[in-house]
Amino acid sequence: MRIGEVAAAAGVSTRALRYYEQQRLITSSRSAGGQRLYTPDAVQRVRWIQALYAAGLSSQTIAEFLPCAHTGVVTPEMVARLRSERARIDHHMRELAATRAQLDAVLAATCEPGTVWPADGGSGT
């Protein structure tokens, strides 16, 4: 797959893909014309990288974690780091849930009588 195809399928910019390569998060080969070529699994890998970034992990941490996700081989030190990151994410999720509850309370207090306000924002979660 060419860089534009991967970018479109993964929902990122081509600039992001070049950055991920620079950070050694993904790899590509080159065509005879010098274009970057990616394997079909690059799309899923980029989506995973995006999810890890969204969770607050740095590119350095992601680079350390990615091989573990593919091989299943982790050192005791990596297990400790993974648990630490998971605990940090859990804490952040609790903070976000509390913030959402506060927003729900404000909305409930400001809605007109008889207005139905779904507690989950209508997302079904």
- Measured torsion, CA atoms of residues 47, 49, 53, 57, in degrees rounded to the nearest 10: 150
Predicted local distance difference test score (pLDDT) of residue 118 = 59
The residues, any chain, with a CB within 8 Å of residue 45's CB and separated by 6 or more, are 25, 26, 66
Predicted local distance difference test score (pLDDT) of residue 51 = 94
Same domain flag for 31 and 51: yes
Q: Can you give the residue range of the structural domain that contains 97? A: 74-112
Residue 118 within a domain: no
The residues, any chain, with a CB within 8 Å of residue 49's CB and separated by 6 or more, are 20, 25, 26, 62, 66
Predicted local distance difference test score (pLDDT) of residue 4 = 95
How many domains in the chain? 2
Same domain flag for 78 and 63: no
DSSP E strands in the chain: the ranges are: 29-30, 36-37
Same domain flag for 65 and 94: no
Predicted local distance difference test score (pLDDT) of residue 67 = 84
Query: What is the CATH number for 45?
Result: 1.10.1660.10
Q: How far apart are CA 85 and CA 91, in angstroms?
A: 10
Residue 27 within a domain: yes
Same domain flag for 17 and 52: yes
pLDDT in tens, the chain (125 residues): 999 999 999 999 999 999 999 999 999 999 999 999 999 999 999 999 999 999 999 999 899 888 887 788 888 998 999 899 999 999 999 999 999 999 988 888 887 666 665 555 555 44
Cα angle at 26 between 46 and 5, to 5 degrees?
Answer: 55
How many other C-beta atoms can be found within 10 angstroms of the C-beta atom of residue 53?
Answer: 15
Residue 93 within a domain: yes
Cα angle at 7 between 49 and 47, to 5 degrees?
Answer: 25
Task: Provide the whole-model pTM.
Answer: 0.73
Same domain flag for 11 and 52: yes
Same domain flag for 55 and 32: yes
